[in-house]
Each structure stands twice: as structure tokens, then as C-alpha cells.
Amino acid sequence: MTTKNKSPSYKSFWQLPVKAQAGIVWTVIRLQSQVIFSHKFVWFIMAILSYIGLIYAINYQQPVYDRMEPEDVYIGVITMPLLILAVYLNMQAIVTEKEQRTLEVMFTTAGSRYKVWLLRLGTLNALLCILTFFLSILVFYTFMDYSILGMTWNTFVTLFFVGNLTLYFAVRMRSGLGAGMVTGLVLFLHLISAGIFDYAETRYFIFFNPYDIPDQMDPRLWDIWMIQNRLGVFGLGLVMIFFALRGMENRDRLLR
């Protein structure tokens, strides 16, 4: 009597039903979110909402003609708190793995470790984009009317670049705090040089404000500058991800 060894058959992700695929995606996002936010997601949201609530209360007390304009809302209400969050999360991307002694696992995982990191970074940036979208909706109903999708895109591009710049420095320096300080210094020098060389209202400024159109500027030319700037900044963010991943190839250096 002979017996046949039946090895279990596994289906690839794309062969699964749509419902099963959605369940896997949701599980991955949920688990990655817990790692990224270290179970402090609610505290991050409460801090951002408290900040927006405080700014709204102050703005509401001002006379109508002194209240915030779209260019002020873009920088002061949406971009700044999310920028701090993006820097913090990317600061912790490497440090958290080292502290929890799971960084070694990244180098011993079967397959490409780049897939693991791309999944982590993709989830992080997707969460930032979703959070930007919902905050844009909130500010739309509390401060003023504007294009929600336009505000989301313009804000997220800046977060994407600055966050990945922080990640690059975190990999190179093997220090989250050091990466945050260097990123802050780079951005500060960029702001200073923009004031000295007077390019703060040009397409070359990282914090290009699409809502702050200079006087006597052709709106069509301004829109072209906005597209060029946003695509350029987004491209720089992709370059920073590339160099950060390349920097992870040196296993011994990261684990020291």
C-alpha cells in the first residue's frame, strides 16, 4: 500500500478573492500602523486636533478682516503639525527597530529586505496622506473654503520630502535625534538662504505656498511654477528613499 505525500498548496495574493485580498491588506496596514506609531496613534491625533482647535479659537476671536487667509492656513494650520509628525515618525523608523532588537530580523528575513522596508515606508506615507486628507476636510469646514484634494496634495508633497530626508539622515547617522536635528538645521538654512537670495516666492522653494500668489503675477504662470515645484519636491523625496535604502545595505554599520 502506497501513500502519496500531499504538500499544501498556497495561492498567491492575486489569486485570492477580492474579499480575502482586502482582509490581508487591512491586517498588514493595521499591524504596520501599530509598529509605526508604537500604539500611540490616538495621542498623536489628539495633539494635532488640540493644536488646530487652539488656532481656530484664536482666529475666531479676531475681527473678520484680520482672520487667517488661505496661505496662512496652508502653512500654520495644516503643514506645520503634520511636518513635525512626519519628522518624528521617520526619526523613529530605524531607532525603534534597534531598540526592540528587531533590526537584525530585517537582514535575515527570507527574500529581499527592501520589500520589508518599502512596505513599512509605504504604509507610513499612506497614513500621512490619509491623515492630511481628513485634516484638510476638517479645516475646510472650520476655517475656509478651498480645494480639499489640492490642499491634500500640496501638503503631502512637502511631508513626503522632509520625512524621507529625515529617514536618510537617520540611516546615515544611526540616530533618530541626530537625524531630526540635522533635518531641522537643513530646513532652517534653506529658509535663511531663501530670504537672503530672495527665492521664497519662486518654484525653487521647498515650502512653496501655492496660495500666496505675489502681486502682479500671472496666475497661469504661478500654476505652472506650482506643478513644477510639487513634482520636483516629490521627486527629491523618492531620491531620499533610494539613498536611505542603499544606506541600509551596510548591515554591520547599522547594527553597531
> Where are the chain's structural domains?
25-255
Q: What's the pLDDT score for residue 1?
A: 46
Q: Are the C-beta atoms of 78 and 135 separated by less than 8 Å?
A: yes
Q: What's the pLDDT score for residue 31?
A: 74
CA–CA distance, 63 with 132 (Å, rounded to integer):
28
Q: What's the pLDDT score for residue 92?
A: 82
Which residues of the chain are under the pLDDT cut of 50? 1-2
DSSP 101: T
Handedness of CA 30, 40, 156, 32 (dihedral sign): negative
Q: Are the C-beta atoms of 64 and 155 separated by less than 8 Å?
A: no
Cα-based angle 69, 190, 148 (whole degrees, multiple of 5): 35
pLDDT tens by residue, 97-145:
665 555 555 555 555 667 778 888 888 999 999 999 999 999 999 998 8
What does pTM read for this prediction?
0.87
Q: What's the pLDDT score for residue 120?
A: 84
As a whole-number percent, the residues of the chain with pLDDT over 90 amount to 51
CA–CA distance, 139 with 55 (Å, rounded to integer):
11
Q: Are the C-beta atoms of 120 and 35 separated by less than 8 Å?
A: yes
CA–CA distance, 217 with 209 (Å, rounded to integer):
14
> In a 3-state reduction of DSSP, which class is residue 232?
helix
Q: Cα 239 to the chain's mean position, in Å? A: 14
Instruction: Report the amino acid identity of residue 151.
Output: M
